[in-house]
């Protein structure tokens, strides 16, 4: 009896731990993207990036980049353990090209339906970097 309760609790806490893990499904950037660096990191770029982030991205990623408590697939930009493994080129790739057909993360680059310039996408990436905790 006690043993059953013990194992029940073990499994329960294990599933809680699992539920707390983010479930990001982000494709890796191809080499030509991974090597890119961000040339738009001035104070002015950050202000513009913030404006467009709040307009286009905050609904899913959260006003402060905290992610979505109800949807663990949304990358939380406050998640330093994750974000510190991401190169600028990787972040730009996903923002510009989207995360694939199965993802809610759409493409925002110049060739996409959203049609933002590369500069604008980089400015949003600059702002996202300021949200890391
Ligand atoms: C409809 C919801 C939604 C919106 C709006 C949205 N995203 Fe995302 N984003 C996601 C999801 C979901 C993922 C993670 C991919 C997955 O797990 O499917 C993601 C992932 C990302 C990543 C992570 C890349 C990586 O390699 O870790 C970046 C960067 C990103 N989004 C930028 C943006 C920017 C910039 C905007 C606004 C221009 C934006 N997102 C708008 C849902 C959204």
Three-state DSSP class for 17?
helix
Which of these, 42, 7, 34, 51, lies nearest to 97 by C-alpha position?
34
Q: Which two tokens stand for residue 133?
A: 């905790």
For the chain, how many structural domains are there in total?
Answer: 1
Residue nearest to atom 10 of ligand 1 (CA): 105
**Cα distances (Å, whole numbers) of residue 33 to 9, 43, 96:** 46, 24, 10
Asked if the structure places residue 3 within a domain, the reply is no
What CATH number corresponds to the domain at position 52? 1.10.760.10
Tens of pLDDT, residues 61-106: 999 999 999 999 999 999 999 999 999 999 999 999 999 999 999 9
Helices within 71-117 (DSSP H only): 80-83, 88-97
Asked if the structure places residue 19 within a domain, the reply is no
Question: Atom of ligand 1 at shortest distance to CA of 102?
Answer: 18
Asked if the structure places residue 47 within a domain, the reply is yes
Q: Indicate the pTM of the whole model.
A: 0.88
- Which residues surround ligand 1 with Cβ inside 6 Å? 24-26, 56-57, 59-61, 73-75, 86, 90-91, 94-95, 99, 103-105, 108, 124
Tens of pLDDT, residues 21-53: 668 999 999 999 999 999 999 999 999 999 999
């Amino acid at each position: 009896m006690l043993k059953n309760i013990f194992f029940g609790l073990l499994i329960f806490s294990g599933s809680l731990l699992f539920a707390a893990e983010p479930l990001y499904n982000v494709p890796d950037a191809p080499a030509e993207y991974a090597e890119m660096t961000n040339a738009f990191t001035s104070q002015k770029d950050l202000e513009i990036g913030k404006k467009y982030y709040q307009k286009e991205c905050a609904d899913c990623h959260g006003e402060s980049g905290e992610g979505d408590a109800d949807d663990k697939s949304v990358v939380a930009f406050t998640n330093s353990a994750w974000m510190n493994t991401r190169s600028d080129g990787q972040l730009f790739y996903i923002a510009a090209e989207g995360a694939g057909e199965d993802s809610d993360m759409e493409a925002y680059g110049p060739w996409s339906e959203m049609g933002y310039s590369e500069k604008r996408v980089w400015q949003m990436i600059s702002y996202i970097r300021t949200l890391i905790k």
